[in-house]
């Protein structure tokens, strides 16, 4: 089943063409790795898929409906997005991990939080830590964990292991692969060519704002 479809998408910013006539179908359960040179439009592509930007031309279809027919809140709950530079807020890690529950008016599921902390090699005691004192790698993993407290249908990842060492990179890759095997659709921008082919079933290359190649890996 086609879950996400981009139809003739172009995006311009300050009279500069960033993406040009992108058309792509993403099936439910796909694990799509996105590669290409820096500045080629990969991050912009993900932001459009997350509805953080609106295309200058074309339209994006999610589950058979135009993005514009959804409320932004509904899309945020169905499509999770993690940027390369994580955005943490409040004072503590706990502030960040309780937020997804607060906006849903639900009690924090500490068991779920503790399980994900373990999955991402984070000490549960880290919840009381000031976010300003976290390392870059800790921030990346906390941002991932926060997005996964309520599983999205599509998970958009932009260089989310760039600040991690080899051990923690492997942990994150395995968590994401496991989620994909359980049905979550994954789009992952990476500059690591080995990583791009390890678990993905499709590889998309973007150059100069255009799709250069689409490859089926398995």
* Confidence (pLDDT) at 168: 94
**Nearest alpha carbon to residue 209 among 52, 12, 15:** 12
Average pLDDT, integer, range 4-28: 96
Cα dihedral across residues 99, 100, 104, 108: positive or negative: negative
Average predicted confidence (pLDDT) for the chain: 95
Average pLDDT, integer, range 153-173: 95
- Cα-based torsion angle of the residue sequence 111, 112, 115, 118 in order, rounded to the nearest 10 degrees: -110
* Confidence (pLDDT) at 47: 97
* Confidence (pLDDT) at 102: 93
Cα dihedral across residues 84, 90, 96, 100: positive or negative: negative
- Of 81-90, 141-150, 151-160, least confident by mean pLDDT is 81-90
Average pLDDT, integer, range 151-176: 95
Please name every residue paired with 187 in a beta bridge, in sequence order, or none if there are none.
32, 156
Average pLDDT, integer, range 81-106: 93
The reported pTM is 0.94
| pLDDT bucket at 84, cuts 50 / 70 / 90 | confident
Environment class of 154 (CB within 10 Å of its CB; exposed 0-12, middle 13-18, buried 19+): buried
In CATH terms, the superfamily for domain 2-87+146-216 is P-loop containing nucleotide triphosphate hydrolases (3.40.50.300)
Domain ranges of the chain: 2-87+146-216
Q: Is it the case that residue 137 has pLDDT exceeding 80? A: yes
Q: Is it the case that residue 218 has pLDDT exceeding 80? A: no
* Confidence (pLDDT) at 144: 95
Looking at the chain, the whole-number percentage of residues with pLDDT higher than 70 is 100
**Nearest alpha carbon to residue 57 among 17, 103, 2:** 17
């Amino acid at each position: 089943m086609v879950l996400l479809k981009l139809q003739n998408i172009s995006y311009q910013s300050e009279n500069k063409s960033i993406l040009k006539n992108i058309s792509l179908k993403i099936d439910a359960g796909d694990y799509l790795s996105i590669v290409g040179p820096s500045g080629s439009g990969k991050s912009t592509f993900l932001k459009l898929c997350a509805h953080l930007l609106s295309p200058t031309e074309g339209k994006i279809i999610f589950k058979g409906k135009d993005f514009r027919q959804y409320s932004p809140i509904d899309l945020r709950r169905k499509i999770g997005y993690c940027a390369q530079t994580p955005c943490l807020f409040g004072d503590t890690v706990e502030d960040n991990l309780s937020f997804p529950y607060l906006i849903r008016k639900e009690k924090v599921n500490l068991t779920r939080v503790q399980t994900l902390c373990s999955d991402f090699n984070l000490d549960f005691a880290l919840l009381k830590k000031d976010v300003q004192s976290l390392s870059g790698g800790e921030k990346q993993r906390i941002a991932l964990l926060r997005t996964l407290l309520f599983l999205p249908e599509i998970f958009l990842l932009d260089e989310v292991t760039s600040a991690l060492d080899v051990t923690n990179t492997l942990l994150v890759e395995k968590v994401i692969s496991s989620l994909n095997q359980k049905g979550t659709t994954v789009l992952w921008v990476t500059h690591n060519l080995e990583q791009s082919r390890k678990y993905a079933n499709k590889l998309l290359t973007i150059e100069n704002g255009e799709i250069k190649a689409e490859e089926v890996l398995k």
